[in-house]
Amino acid sequence: MSAIPNAATANGGPKAKPTPAPKVPYQLTPEQIARQEARKKLKARKAAEKKDEPLRSKEQIEKGKFLLRTWVDLQQGSQDRQPDDAVRVMSWNILAQTLIRRDLFPGSDCLKWTDREQMLISELDAYAADIICLQEVDRLESLIPHIPTHKVTKAKGHRKRHGLVILHRDALFEKLAEKTIYLDELEPRDSATEAEAEGKPPAWKRGGTRETKNIGLLACLKRKNGKGGVIVCTTHTFWHPMYLYERTRQLGLLLRETARFRKAGGWEDWPCIMAGDFNTQPFEPSYTLLRNPTSPLSPTQIADIQNSSVIHSSVINVRSPIQLDNSSSGTPEFVSPNSKPSDLSDDEEGDREGEAETEQGGSRDAGLMKGCRRATEQDGLLSIDELRALFAQSGIEPGCLLSLYDSCSGIERADGKDPLEGRSLESRRSETEQNEKKEILGSGEPNYTSYTPLWHLTLDYIFLLPPATRPDSPPKVIRYLLPHQVSDLEPGLPRKGISASDHVIVAGDILLHE
C-alpha cells in the first residue's frame, strides 16, 4: 500500500524543512591554545611587573604626557607567532642634561630636568621593550626605579659625564658577559707586520685623528626559555659632522669587536644587535661600509673621507688601553646574575664634551678646522682600502648586516598600507630621484631621528647581524614603531607633549631564531 501524500505536497505546496543538525562547538587548535596561554602569561607577567613600579602622582602623570606612536605589523609571520617568540628592541639617545644649552635648542619649552624627567619615564615605559639601548645617560638613578623589571649594564668613556646603558628584561634574559670598547685606543690594522710597525709611534698603530672618548658597550644575553641568546651592542660615535674619517674608523672597529666578542665566548650560533646613535647619515661612507664593505663609494664619499683625514691636537691625550679583564684588549668578562656592572669612568673633571668645537692649541693650517693640522705618514691614518679591510675583519658576509627599518621598506604590511607611510628617508629625495626608481642603500630608514630647530637628521639605527654559523639567517623583523610625521616634530625637539629628547626612539619586534 503506497503512502498517501499530505495535502500540502499533493497540491504543490511548500515542502517540510529538514531538521537542522545540532551545532558543534568550535574547537581551538593546539597552536591557538598555545598562543592564548602565552598571551595570558604575558599579560600576567606585565601586571606583576607593574606592581613593583613606584606610584606616580597625577601631576607627574600629567607632566609625562608625550606623543604615542603606532606599532606596525608586517606580513611576514607576525600574526601566527606566539608573543613570547618575539623580542622587542629599542634604542634612544635621551639627551644628557649636562649637554643642554639653550642656544642649541632655541624655542624649546622642555629643557629643564623637572620638565623632562616624567616624559622620559613615560615614554620608556609605554613601549615595553625587552632590550633597551640608551645613549647620553647622566641621570640613570632617576629612571631605574621606574624600570624594576630590567637589569642594567652601563659604561662611560674616560672623564665623560654621561654614558651608555643596556637594559634587559630580567624575566627573559640572563647576562653572561659584558665588555666596554674604548674606540680611541684600538688598533685597526690586523695585517700590519712587525717590519711595518717598527719605529712607528703608538699613534700610527691606532690610526685615529683625535681624542673622542667614545665607547661601545657589549652584553651577551642568554634567553631563560632555552632558545639561544643574543649579543647586544650599543654606541654613541663621534658627533662632529666634519669628522667622517674618524666616524668610519669607529664603526669599523665596533663591528670587528662585536664579532670578536661573540667568537671569544663561543656564541657564534647567536645573532647580534647593534643599536644606538651612530651620528651617521645613510648617504655617508661610514653607513655604506657598515652595511657592505664591498659596496663602491661615490667620488663624493671618498672626498669626504680624505678631506676629514686631519689631526686634531687632542690626539695626544689618547691613552694606552686599560689592562683590565673588561678592557677592549681582553676577553669577555663573565659575570654572575648578581654582579654589579662596573663603572669604568675615571676623572670627570675637565670633560670637554659639547657641540661646539673648541680651540685646543697647536698649529692650525689654513682652511682646516680649529686645532687641526694635516696628517703625515707618522699619524698612520687608514687609506680607503684599509678602511674596507677593517670592516671585513668582522668576518660578516658582505650584505648580511641588515637595518631594522630599511629591511622593512620592501615588506608588505599586514594591513596592506605603504610600509613607512611616506615617513622614510625616501620621502626626502627629490621628485626626479624618486621617479628614477633607483634603489638607494638606506632609503627605507626613518625620515628623521633627530629633529631640532637647527638640524634635521637621520642618525639612529638598529642593525641586525646573523649568526656566524648561519649568515643567511638574520633575525626577522615582524613589527616596528612607525616614525613620526614631520608635522608632529615641528618646530623642533625637545617639546612638551611630544618628546623630551632631541632624538626619537627607534624600535621593533624581532624573531632572534627561526
Is the CB of residue 280 less than 8 Å from the CB of residue 242?
no
Is the CB of residue 268 less than 8 Å from the CB of residue 311?
no
- Cell readout for 220 is 651577551
Q: What is the mean pLDDT of residues 127-134?
A: 98
Is the CB of residue 375 less than 8 Å from the CB of residue 310?
yes
Q: Is residue 26 part of a domain?
A: no
In the chain, % of residues over pLDDT 90: 65
- Highest mean pLDDT (candidates 252-261, 362-371, 422-431): 252-261
For residue 258, give the CATH number of its domain: 3.60.10.10
Element housing 50 (H / E): helix 30-51
β pairing state of 402-403 and 460-465: antiparallel
Q: What is the mean pLDDT of residues 146-167?
A: 97
Cα atoms in the Cβ-side hemisphere of radius 13 Å centred on 487: 1
CA distance to 210, 246, 325, per residue, from 197 (Å): 20, 21, 26
From 434, 430, 459, 455, select the one nearest 445 (Cα to Cα): 459
Q: What is the mean pLDDT of residues 375-379?
A: 95
Of 261 and 12, the structure prediction assigns the larger pLDDT to 261
Q: Provide the domain count of the chain.
A: 1
Using alpha carbons only, what angle is made at residue 235 by residues 441 and 459, rounded to the nearest 5 degrees?
Answer: 40
Q: How far apart are CA 403 and CA 420, in angstroms?
A: 14
pLDDT for residue 228 is more than 70:
yes
Residue with cell string 605589523: 73
Q: What is the mean pLDDT of residues 322-332?
A: 46
- Cell readout for 320 is 694606552
Reported as a pLDDT band with limits 50, 70 and 90, residue 353 is very low
Predicted pLDDT at 439: 63
pTM over 0.85: no
pLDDT for residue 38 is more than 80:
no
Is the CB of residue 503 less than 8 Å from the CB of residue 459?
yes
Predicted pLDDT at 445: 95
Q: Is residue 32 part of a domain?
A: no
Q: Is residue 465 part of a domain?
A: yes
Query: b or e along 13-45 (b: 16 or more beta carbons within 10 Å of the residue's beta carbon)?
Result: eeeeeeeeeeeeeeeeeeeeeebeeeeeeeeee
Q: What is the mean pLDDT of residues 21-48?
A: 69
Reported as a pLDDT band with limits 50, 70 and 90, residue 365 is low
In the chain, % of residues over pLDDT 70: 78
Predicted pLDDT at 347: 35
Predicted pLDDT at 349: 33
Q: Is residue 35 part of a domain?
A: no
Q: Is residue 202 part of a domain?
A: yes
Q: How far apart are CA 384 and CA 390, in angstroms?
A: 10
- The domain containing residue 264 runs over which residues? 67-346+365-511
Q: Is residue 120 part of a domain?
A: yes
Reported as a pLDDT band with limits 50, 70 and 90, residue 343 is very low
Using alpha carbons only, what angle is made at residue 370 by residues 368 and 376, rounded to the nearest 5 degrees?
Answer: 55
Predicted pLDDT at 124: 97
From 119, 149, 156, 145, select the one nearest 132 (Cα to Cα): 149
Q: What is the mean pLDDT of residues 393-408?
A: 94
The Cα diameter of the chain in Å comes to 125
Task: Collapse the DSSP code of 376 into the 3-class scheme (helix H, G, I; strand E, B; otherwise coil) and give the result.
Answer: coil
Cis preceding-peptide flag for 494 (omega within 30 of 0): yes
From 472, 460, 490, 309, select the one nearest 396 (Cα to Cα): 472
Q: How far apart are CA 99 and CA 318, in angstroms?
A: 22
Is the CB of residue 66 less than 8 Å from the CB of residue 107?
no
Q: Is residue 287 part of a domain?
A: yes
Q: Is residue 1 part of a domain?
A: no
Q: 192-196, 395-399, 485-489: which range is least confident on average?
A: 192-196
Is the CB of residue 73 less than 8 Å from the CB of residue 79?
yes
Q: What is the mean pLDDT of the chain?
A: 85
Of 325 and 36, the structure prediction assigns the larger pLDDT to 36
Predicted pLDDT at 51: 61
Predicted pLDDT at 50: 60
Predicted pLDDT at 81: 47
Reported as a pLDDT band with limits 50, 70 and 90, residue 13 is low
Predicted pLDDT at 294: 95
Q: What is the mean pLDDT of residues 335-354?
A: 38
Reported as a pLDDT band with limits 50, 70 and 90, residue 514 is low
Helices (H), 172-320: 194-197, 202-206, 244-264, 285-291, 299-307
